[in-house]
Structure 1
């Protein structure tokens, strides 16, 4: 059996954005979790791969993503115009590959971009040990500046959490909760000081037998031609220890009657 390795990444930042099939010029949406295309592209940048290079051994990798801190959605509305007062260019190109002017002429264009703010994800990337050795080294000392979906979204430290020989499913269920002390405090306040001993987080894992199909399996990062295909995944809800002591006020759900307050 070929030896394999799982690389653990922490994708956290004030802002991050992961494009999906809804991405258009005027509106740039974000998926609620890092996409596989985004993660593989991130590792390709770390390795110094050019956009038009074949995926090569990166195509062998499988991933799992755990949403430790889902974050909140941020909408950025903006307008665009040319400081010279000339009409804007359109997204269409001519036979020479040059953008053509808008017709009728448009001098101002509105748009909106969506981001995930204050989110933190645990990403497990699994593949042959020989491939993962190069990927891990590049993640620790990337050739290109890394960004979480868009150039304006650099990751915060630490980015690489380590490697293990464990499979993705085991890593996602055993690794510590990535919430920061500040986030834990806010979470505790939201639970009115009850300090639950566990928190349930969602995860998405590559699975050939999965019942959900996503269109984010990368084929190419060139600007033309097919760039994505489908992959099957499965979803999971994973309970993680919070580190809080439930305290004497915590009550067990054993024997609880949800209709008792209604007098039934």
Structure 2
């Protein structure tokens, strides 16, 4: 198996899995429907096109930098009638960074990586207002999804990297959410637990017959080196009074 690694970062992200009517919530991590929709948009697929080949891809998401939950009180008017629309609460993740580890056949992943570098449609992180920061693909590696999650270098934003440098952290503990198949037969499954069932596997993006099915996700964590230079303390502490013969 090969794994395509994406870095998902931007001022705002919003990954809904159970949003209804006037309350549009976000999951704490990117959803499978959101990521597959992003891949389909990059390839130029229309909402009515088939998705069978994408549904076979394995997915794990690692949190590189925790975001802050942001609530937006949203107002709008009907495009044609001009009448007020119902008021809505919309939730976003602000200043969050994730890596998505997508496992599948290398030829398919190579085509997806090429499409992401020159997308047919604009890409966004869950909602159209959530524009990604920089290039998304980090490359393709020939390992399992579990190994990719464990070995991928830390990909934080400026805030988390600055905090790690200030606190002199040699490693960080990062949350992971993955398809249950990712850790089904892996030594890395220690400590992994089946967390919940998400209704985020898209069977069709067609607005007239939109449909999803559920998947079981596993939650675990990995420890990753920060790559920040940590200066070890010297054996003898600095004594500014030593030159004066000490203090009586």
1:153 matched residue in structure 2: 130
**1:133-172 residue pairs with structure 2 within 5 A?**
133-172=110-149
State which of 41, 54, 72 in structure 1 corresponds to 2:50: 54
Following superposition, the deviation at residue 247 of structure 1 comes to: 3.4
> Residue 248 in 1 paired to residue 245 in 2?
no
Following superposition, the deviation at residue 246 of structure 1 comes to: 6.4
> Residue 201 in 1 paired to residue 174 in 2?
yes
SS at match of 1:139: helix
> Residue 13 in 1 paired to residue 25 in 2?
no
**1:19-34 residue pairs with structure 2 within 5 A?**
19-21=16-18, 23-34=19-30
Root mean square deviation of aligned Cα:
2.2
| Structure 2 contact 164–226 (Cα < 8 Å) conserved | no
Following superposition, the deviation at residue 109 of structure 1 comes to: 3.0
> Residue 131 in 1 paired to residue 139 in 2?
no
d(CA) in 2 for partners of 1:242 and 1:32? 22
d(CA) in 2 for partners of 1:248 and 1:168? 38
Q: Structure 1 stretches (4+) deviating beyond 6 angstroms?
A: none
d(CA) in 2 for partners of 1:82 and 1:133? 42
d(CA) in 1 for partners of 2:78 and 2:107? 49
SS at match of 1:80: coil
Give the length in aligned residue pairs. 222
> Residue 178 in 1 paired to residue 162 in 2?
no
Gaps of 5+ in 1: 89-106, 250-264
Relative to 1, partners in 2 of residues 1:176 and 1:109: Cα closer, same or farther, differing over 3 Å?
same
Following superposition, the deviation at residue 226 of structure 1 comes to: 5.4
SS at match of 1:211: strand
Following superposition, the deviation at residue 72 of structure 1 comes to: 0.5
State which of 49, 70, 76 in structure 1 corresponds to 2:66: 70
Following superposition, the deviation at residue 187 of structure 1 comes to: 4.8
2:32 matched residue in structure 1: 36
SS at match of 2:30: coil
Q: TM-score, structure 2 length as denominator?
A: 0.82
d(CA) in 1 for partners of 2:145 and 2:26? 24
SS at match of 1:170: helix
Relative to 1, partners in 2 of residues 1:165 and 1:248: Cα closer, same or farther, differing over 3 Å?
same
Following superposition, the deviation at residue 236 of structure 1 comes to: 1.3
